Chains A and B, each alone.
Chain A
Amino acid sequence: MPTQSKKAAHAPARQGGDGPMSQTTLAVIGVGRIGRMHTENLVRAIPDAYVKTVASRTQVDPAWADSLGIPVRSTDVDKVLRDPEIEAVVITAPSGLHVELIEKAAAAGKHIYCEKPVAFEPERIERAQAAVAAAGVKLQVGFNRRFDPSLVALWEKVRAGGVGDVHQVRVTNRDPKAPPVEFVKRSGGLFFDFAIHDFDTVRFLSGSEIVELFAVGAVLVDPEIGKAGDIDTAVITARLANGALAVIDCSRQTNYGYDQRFEVFGSKGSIIVDNLTPTTVVASSTGGVVADKPFENFVGRYRDAFIAELSDFVRCVRDDVPVRVGAPDALAAVHAAVAAKASHEEKRPVGLADAFQLVGEGTSR
């Protein structure tokens, strides 16, 4: 870790790195749970990043900002975007504001990292895409799994022919505890808020596109989720453009931690990514052999991925190279979610081309 420079107490300490010349200056917009996590990662773990500003609609906790050496705290996003020193923004505001903020930031010439989902509606993602294209700025989307060391290793092995031709991709995605019903109501639903990562993971690991899918869902965890119009358990199978098949199984609640498992199976064999655990302790007794449960949530499981994705974003901005995951990926994942919702509701396989159609007809959210 680089050392902190010593400055007077009233002037915030310069964050890590060799100095302003080598660092990319950022603003974080939205400091809820995820926003704070990204901010802390940028300050503590990414020496190339300098977080000058944190912005929020409500007052930012000054003690927290002080502890990170962030000099500017603002409730005025427009003012933040007028700051010529800010090169890039990290958008972690509530999902409903993402597109508007992307448009504003792009117009101000800032590069953008935006948490998923960019939007639930494909046409709004296209709007954001058009805005960043017109402004010539980068837009990276928060599909953090693409930067997870285990999944990157899996993907690299697949790309190097380690499993031969891909025949099946399997994703198991289960949350430790069902979220509050209030969250479910504004989340966009299981396919948009939860399985969206899995659609992207299938595309990432297979190197192919989802052509058609079939989704079955059920309310098995919490009847309240059902009353809110959502489901809490689902199995999605899909046909991919390269001829392979994919399967995703989702649950909102395991009771044993965050269950994240992946497999790519092909003509030469199979590669599996198993759950990671906080420790590797195994305790054997007359009661059995007991190992750690998986990490309790995404913060622990994908800690390295969250750091790596922002580190890579900062690198792409600095070196002016394309980001690894952008608006087209967000769009493809949302199209899959639209298709999955339609498939579940109409009890039929739905082609992704049909999903475009559904969006046009306004029959989906």
Chain B
Amino acid sequence: MKTITAGVLGTGRIGKIHANNLLRMDGVRLKRVADPFVDFKEWPPPPVVVSRTPDDVLNDPEIEAVLVCSPTPTHADFTEQAARAGKHVFCEKPIALDPDRVRQTLKVVERACVKLQVGFNRRFDPTFARVHQAVVNGEVGDVHLVRITARDPAAPPLEYVKASGGMFVDMTIHDFDMVRFLSGSEIEEVHAYGAVLVDPEIGKTGDVDTALTTMRLSSGALAVIENSRQAVFGYDQRIEVFGSKGGIEAHNETPAQTVLRTDAGIRSENPLYFFLERYQRSFMIELEAFFSSIREDKAPPAEGNDGLAALLVGLAAKQSLRENRPVRVEELASSAPKKTR
């Protein structure tokens, strides 16, 4: 297997996870990491070269692939710079909060003829991948309904909420991608109900913390997503695809699979606490897929256009909530100059 030399921009929480996964991965050599806010005293292990400026990664001719894990406002710039330098890019979602900005980035990537994979890690979760496989195999027949429950264990800090673009763009965007991924169909129309039930401070920022989003898909199927910023019992991540032959459901995963029976009742375990625990395996698998697509010169399994599609649905959901009406996604797509493909 050909070894690919990689660099990582941004070594915060997710960047560090990705970098550590690269260190464990066959056929990949992590050469450099860059982050202006990290002192790198205890990490990473040698011989990984550390620096405070992204240019050291972007200008290194040996580096073929760059992982963009820096704060969201820098994603588009770094992706473009890496692409122009002829490097394949793995970019954490979202590429940008403005669809026009995303389109611009996708054009740069296309012109540079490099791969771009977006960090929709849930597609690579073994449980959800099995749900997807069941749909592809025809085990549930034609898809009639996709139902997703996605609830975080605790509301994020208010500072995050203010900068995140809102719940539909920062949180539900993963679920919109799962609806597209699992149904194999495009989301055409969205209606969202939202409420502030967890924390009034979230409401003051103009966001919601609880939502129900209904969708019509291009295949004719329906989809519904239930979101909450706070499920006190843990990260509540359940998916069901229901179709003409039956349904397949993915339950929550737990740290261990025990049932405790006492006179107080029958107790099983709380779900894995948050996304780092629940989707741990998916982070490794998504990067393996990214490097395979480079090695085999094929399209990555979650591309820039997937990021754009989910973003547009998120913006449509925001608009639906604001105007209390169903919003067709093409209303947003057509407002901008041109589709990327």
* B115 located at the interface, meaning its Cβ lies under 8 Å from any Cβ of chain A in the complex: no
* A22 located at the interface, meaning its Cβ lies under 8 Å from any Cβ of chain B in the complex: no
B226 with A220: CB separation less than 8 A? no
Counted as pairs of residues, one from A and one from B, with CB atoms less than 8 Å apart, the total is: 102
A269 with B325: CB separation less than 8 A? no
Nearest chain A CB to B22's CB is how many angstroms away? 36
B144 with A251: CB separation less than 8 A? yes
* A216 located at the interface, meaning its Cβ lies under 8 Å from any Cβ of chain B in the complex: yes
Bound state CA distance, A34 and B190, in angstroms?
A: 40
Q: Among the listed stretches A105-113, A162-170, A318-326, which one makes contact with chain B, having 4 or more residues with CB under 8 Å of it?
A: A162-170
Bound state CA distance, A87 and B273, in angstroms?
A: 58
| Interface SS, B side | strand
User: A220 — which chain B residues lie within 8 A by C-beta?
Assistant: 142, 144, 220-221, 244
Q: Which of A214, A239, A256, A348 gathers the greatest number of chain B CB atoms within 10 Å?
A: A214
Q: Which of B144, B236, B247 gathers the greatest number of chain A CB atoms within 10 Å?
A: B144
* A249 located at the interface, meaning its Cβ lies under 8 Å from any Cβ of chain B in the complex: yes
Bound state CA distance, A165 and B211, in angstroms?
A: 15
Q: Which of A321-360 contact B (CB under 8 A)?
A: 347-349
* A68 located at the interface, meaning its Cβ lies under 8 Å from any Cβ of chain B in the complex: no
User: B226 — which chain A residues lie within 8 A by C-beta?
Assistant: 168, 170, 247, 265
| Interface SS, A side | strand
B193 with A237: CB separation less than 8 A? yes
Q: Among the listed stretches B4-12, B46-54, B100-108, B227-235, which one makes contact with chain A, having 4 or more residues with CB under 8 Å of it?
A: B227-235
Nearest chain B CB to A272's CB is how many angstroms away? 10
Contact A347 to B224, CB < 8 A, known contacts A249-B145, A265-B231, A270-B236:
no
A255 with B246: CB separation less than 8 A? yes
Nearest chain B CB to A231's CB is how many angstroms away? 10
B242 with A265: CB separation less than 8 A? no
Bound state CA distance, A237 and B225, in angstroms?
A: 10
Contact with B along A200-238 (1 / 0, CB 8 A): 000000000000001010101100000000000111011
Give the size category of A's interface with B: 35 or more
* B191 located at the interface, meaning its Cβ lies under 8 Å from any Cβ of chain A in the complex: yes
B212 with A168: CB separation less than 8 A? yes
A268 with B216: CB separation less than 8 A? no
B231 with A270: CB separation less than 8 A? yes
Contact with B along A226-268 (1 / 0, CB 8 A): 0000000111011100011111010101111001000001011
* B147 located at the interface, meaning its Cβ lies under 8 Å from any Cβ of chain A in the complex: yes
* B164 located at the interface, meaning its Cβ lies under 8 Å from any Cβ of chain A in the complex: no
A255 with B222: CB separation less than 8 A? no
User: A243 — which chain B residues lie within 8 A by C-beta?
Assistant: 195, 197
Task: Out of A167, A249, A251, A253, name the residue touching B224 (CB < 8 Å).
Answer: A249
Bound state CA distance, A239 and B244, in angstroms?
A: 30
A218 with B222: CB separation less than 8 A? yes
* B300 located at the interface, meaning its Cβ lies under 8 Å from any Cβ of chain A in the complex: no
Q: Which of A100-154 contact B (CB under 8 A)?
A: none
Task: Out of B212, B228, B231, B245, name the residue touching A247 (CB < 8 Å).
Answer: B212
Contact A245 to B191, CB < 8 A, known contacts A214-B326, A349-B324:
no
Contact A167 to B210, CB < 8 A, known contacts A265-B151, A269-B233:
yes
B225 nearest in chain A by CB position: A247
Nearest chain B CB to A18's CB is how many angstroms away? 37
Bound state CA distance, A251 and B224, in angstroms?
A: 14
Contact A233 to B231, CB < 8 A, known contacts A216-B214, A221-B244:
no
Bound state CA distance, A168 and B325, in angstroms?
A: 20
Bound state CA distance, A265 and B147, in angstroms?
A: 16
A221 with B233: CB separation less than 8 A? no
Bound state CA distance, A214 and B325, in angstroms?
A: 9
A235 with B224: CB separation less than 8 A? yes
Q: Which of A144-201 contact B (CB under 8 A)?
A: 165, 167-168, 170, 172, 174
Bound state CA distance, A247 and B246, in angstroms?
A: 20
* B23 located at the interface, meaning its Cβ lies under 8 Å from any Cβ of chain A in the complex: no
B145 with A251: CB separation less than 8 A? yes
* B154 located at the interface, meaning its Cβ lies under 8 Å from any Cβ of chain A in the complex: no
User: A233 — which chain B residues lie within 8 A by C-beta?
Assistant: 144-145, 222
User: A237 — which chain B residues lie within 8 A by C-beta?
Assistant: 191, 193, 212, 214, 224
A254 with B247: CB separation less than 8 A? yes
User: A167 — which chain B residues lie within 8 A by C-beta?
Assistant: 195, 197-198, 210, 228
B224 with A247: CB separation less than 8 A? yes
Bound state CA distance, A251 and B246, in angstroms?
A: 11
Bound state CA distance, A172 and B238, in angstroms?
A: 14
Contact A214 to B214, CB < 8 A, known contacts A233-B145, A267-B198:
yes
Bound state CA distance, A60 and B95, in angstroms?
A: 71
A269 with B151: CB separation less than 8 A? no
Closest 7 CB pairs of A and B: A237-B212, A220-B144, A167-B197, A256-B246, A235-B224, A245-B212, A235-B222
A-B contact pairs, 16 of them (CB 8 A): A168-B212, A218-B216, A220-B144, A220-B220, A244-B197, A247-B224, A251-B145, A251-B242, A253-B244, A256-B246, A259-B247, A269-B232, A270-B236, A348-B325, A348-B326, A349-B191
